[in-house]
Amino acid sequence: MTKRLLLAATLLASAATAQPADREAALDAQISSADQMAWLKTLTSGPNHLGSPHNQANAALIEKLFREWGWQVKRADYQVLYPTPVSTALELVGPVAKTLGGQEPGIPEDATSNTLAGALPPYVAYQGDGDVTAPVVYVNYGLPADYEALARRGISVKGKIVIARYGGGWRGLKPKLAQEAGAIGCLIYSDPQQDGYGSADTYPNGGGRPPAGVQRGSVVDMTTYPGDPLTPGVGATKDAKRLTRETAPTVLKIPTLPISYADATEILSRLKGAPVPPDWRGGLPFHYRFGGSDDVRVHLKVASEWSLKTVSNIIATLPGSSRKDEWVVRGNHYDGWVFGASDPLSGEVALLSEAKALGALYKAGWRPKRSIVYASWDGEEPGLLGSTEWVEHNLAELRQKALIYINGDSNGRGFLGVEGSQQYQAFVGQVAAQVRDPQTGASVAERWRAGVRAKAFDGLRGNATALAAAEAGGDQPLDALGSGSDYTAFIHHAGVTSLNIGFGGEGESAGSYHSIYDSYDHFVRFDDPGLAYGATLSKVVGRMVLRLADADVPPVRFGPLASAARLYLTEIKALIETRRREDQRRAGLSPELYRLASDPRDPIAPPLAKPETPAIDLAVLDAAIGRLEAAAKGFDAAIGAKGASLTPAQTAALNAALKGIDQTLLSPAGLPFRPWFRNILYAPGRFTGYGAKTLPGVREAVEERRFGDAVREAGIAAKALNDYADRISAAAAALQ
């Protein structure tokens, strides 16, 4: 028995009766980077996409580990539509013939890149199969502003194949908007400016995307609803009522393929037509042009196998003692696109370390007050399948029992990043102050503050709220959750308080993202050597779970949430004013003015006419947020004064008052165009995809010039916020 193991055993022995601080020391002692390295090596040793043999083996291993560690484990399986590629053919037909596409090449420096049997070639899930040959138009990011720019130059994509670069918004919007604009095919490529040599030396010299690297991904129309396209709103059980593939609104209609920048160069460098605007240029060494002429043509054929497949979530529980029917839920997915070292297994191995440590405490006699539920999700990559179906299937129970959901996904070297329900901002700050950063020895909270201040001064990034917090020595403001990982169904559909957490900012996993190079070798060289940050994440989240499970009352403070809501409203007001000025300016821009302003060699029409933004009365929201601020202030002061000295009756009353509080944020009818999304405070943007929109019903109505909707949605949001404020006030009253 080594000295370290001896210490761990000693700590554990006293964990059952220990003070919380001692229990956390015992937790830390069980968390080991070496464990994580070993698990990561095994889990990444074969292709682990949904349904693959190695993914099933990984599930079995994870299940086995949980059982060994003393957890109660069950599978939660669902039958989902999940297409796998049969053909992903791409050829340049003219001006020269050239075969493009296909699997990414292995390299000697990356062991698993040479063991690709069973790996899927680059493809995007839920595109629309097809076989098309057409000229190519470059559409920049392929987002709405890009189509407006094309329209102003008289360039149509109708009957064409578009080529878009990654970035600017979620992948799935690119083929969706392309098909809406009449394109018959879509290529998406990784421009080296974004994640190739523009960001790092290319793999294997550095972590940047190599010329032949391709980003796979899902293009399911997740902004309408995530999860199985055939069973919106209900669990995809064997007997669930299903849509057909043809009637499922989230399955796209045109063939789409992701390609490398080596392949994109073959197409883009040959395009003719006018030069693109400066902000459309990427990092390839030629002058980018729109294309569209008949001489550059490609043939694209995508065919898939569309059967139902099984997603298998692994749900592990440590039952609670006094508050068994309150759940602290923690999850990370385990399926990847190929080997999935960074995404998702770097997060999953951190979760495993927590589970091992919590299991050891449990075995040593500790019993959490609340139940702890650890989920390893399957099928996140194609469309958040496992987590969404589980939430939909267990919706009523989750709304009754879930105190919080804490999500992880990729993790890497760098700074703590946390997003989510801001009533936990102070709690996150407390934990972050008590865990050491492995590189500097400072607390991760201190390191976060230092990073924000240094980056803001050096003009590298940052926002005013974060900077003010960092300078004041305060807590990291929690950004709003959009989408892109398994918290989506929890916060946006079920109204379960959620956090998403991970370290990052110094690794180079962007360059391997969703490619065969997202491997063990890449990860331990460029992303989190030694998995030091894997262990650190386990310590942070492990502490959070311990504290949440054992807290007499939820450790919430509502001031940060009220401030966030105020900020969101202020932003929307500023947006309205900006739009009004811009609309006035636009109204003065005639075709004649643009005839004079344009270069006749490259003429451009005026901006498209748009309904003028009116003054929009948001007084109801102003009032509701005012009420929220007052209620939050009252609650925070009351709980601050009381500290831990609550009577059992007060504790019970407070728990009752706060139970399911975030469900008051749900709009009964859901958001416009997408009733599945119901949270009035946050949503993934309809036209950003992963990026969050806050007060989304109002904000998107302003952005999309649905001015009537803006007023109506303001009323809905105000009602929700008033109800929320009432719940906080009730909780505060319980403290009297």
Residues that bind its own copies in the complex, under the rule CB under 8 A: 192, 197-202, 206, 208, 275, 277-278, 281, 283-287, 413-414, 437, 439-440, 442, 446-447, 450-451, 453-455, 457-458, 460, 471, 506, 582, 585-586, 588-589, 593-601, 604, 606-607
Minimum CB distance to its own copies smaller for 327 or for 415: 415
Minimum CB distance to its own copies smaller for 103 or for 269: 269
Least separation in angstroms between residue 264's CB and its own copies is: 13
Minimum CB distance to its own copies smaller for 283 or for 614: 283
> What amino acid is encoded at 389 in this protein?
E
Least separation in angstroms between residue 275's CB and its own copies is: 7
Please answer whether residues 489 and 386 qualify as being in contact, where contact means their C-beta atoms are separated by less than 8 angstroms: no
Please answer whether residues 535 and 33 qualify as being in contact, where contact means their C-beta atoms are separated by less than 8 angstroms: yes
The single-letter DSSP state of residue 201 is P
Minimum CB distance to its own copies smaller for 158 or for 461: 461
Neighbours of 180 (CB within 10 A): 12
Q: Rounded to an integer, what distance in angstroms lies between the CA atom of residue 662 and that of residue 76?
A: 25
Least separation in angstroms between residue 473's CB and its own copies is: 11
Minimum CB distance to its own copies smaller for 426 or for 604: 604
Q: Which residues pair with 21 in a beta bridge?
A: none
Please answer whether residues 252 and 550 qualify as being in contact, where contact means their C-beta atoms are separated by less than 8 angstroms: no
- Of 254, 255, 251, nearest to 231 (Cα)? 251
Minimum CB distance to its own copies smaller for 441 or for 643: 441
Cβ-in-10-Å burial (0-12, 13-18, 19+) of 287 comes to exposed
Cβ-in-10-Å burial (0-12, 13-18, 19+) of 37 comes to buried
Least separation in angstroms between residue 457's CB and its own copies is: 6
Q: Is 100 helix (H, G, I), strand (E, B) or coil?
A: strand
Minimum CB distance to its own copies smaller for 136 or for 551: 136
Where do the DSSP E strands lie in 22-129? Answer: 72-81, 84-94, 98-100, 124-125
- Of 299, 335, 304, 101, nearest to 214 (Cα)? 101
Minimum CB distance to its own copies smaller for 444 or for 718: 444
- Of 348, 265, 311, nearest to 43 (Cα)? 348
Instruction: With both helix axes pointing from N to C terminus, report the angle between 707-734 and 696-703 in degrees, rounded to the nearest 10.
Output: 160
Neighbours of 363 (CB within 10 A): 13
Q: Rounded to an integer, what distance in angstroms lies between the CA atom of residue 218 and that of residue 336?
A: 12
Least separation in angstroms between residue 706's CB and its own copies is: 23
Least separation in angstroms between residue 577's CB and its own copies is: 17
Minimum CB distance to its own copies smaller for 239 or for 458: 458
Least separation in angstroms between residue 173's CB and its own copies is: 22
Minimum CB distance to its own copies smaller for 241 or for 601: 601
Minimum CB distance to its own copies smaller for 433 or for 442: 442
> What amino acid is encoded at 235 in this protein?
G
- Straight-line distance from the first to the last Cα atom of the chain, in angstroms, rounded to the nearest whole number: 53
Q: Which residues pair with 116 in a beta bridge?
A: none
Neighbours of 514 (CB within 10 A): 25
Minimum CB distance to its own copies smaller for 192 or for 227: 192
Taking the CA atoms of 134, 138, 144 and 147 in sequence, report the sign of the dihedral they define: negative
Least separation in angstroms between residue 412's CB and its own copies is: 12
- Of 429, 440, 424, nearest to 497 (Cα)? 424
Q: Rounded to an integer, what distance in angstroms lies between the CA atom of residue 169 and that of residue 422?
A: 25
> What amino acid is encoded at 403 in this protein?
L
Least separation in angstroms between residue 689's CB and its own copies is: 23
Minimum CB distance to its own copies smaller for 588 or for 640: 588
* HSE-CB for 564 with a 13 A CA cutoff: 25
Least separation in angstroms between residue 601's CB and its own copies is: 7
Backbone angles phi, psi at 502, to 5 degrees: 180, 165
Minimum CB distance to its own copies smaller for 153 or for 299: 153
List all residues 6 or more positions away from 281 whose beta carbon is below 8 Å from its beta carbon. 287, 288
Least separation in angstroms between residue 469's CB and its own copies is: 14
Length of the chain: 736
Phi/psi region, residue 184 (left: phi>0; alpha: psi -120 to 50; beta: rest), is alpha
Least separation in angstroms between residue 197's CB and its own copies is: 5
Least separation in angstroms between residue 199's CB and its own copies is: 8
Least separation in angstroms between residue 175's CB and its own copies is: 27
The single-letter DSSP state of residue 276 is P
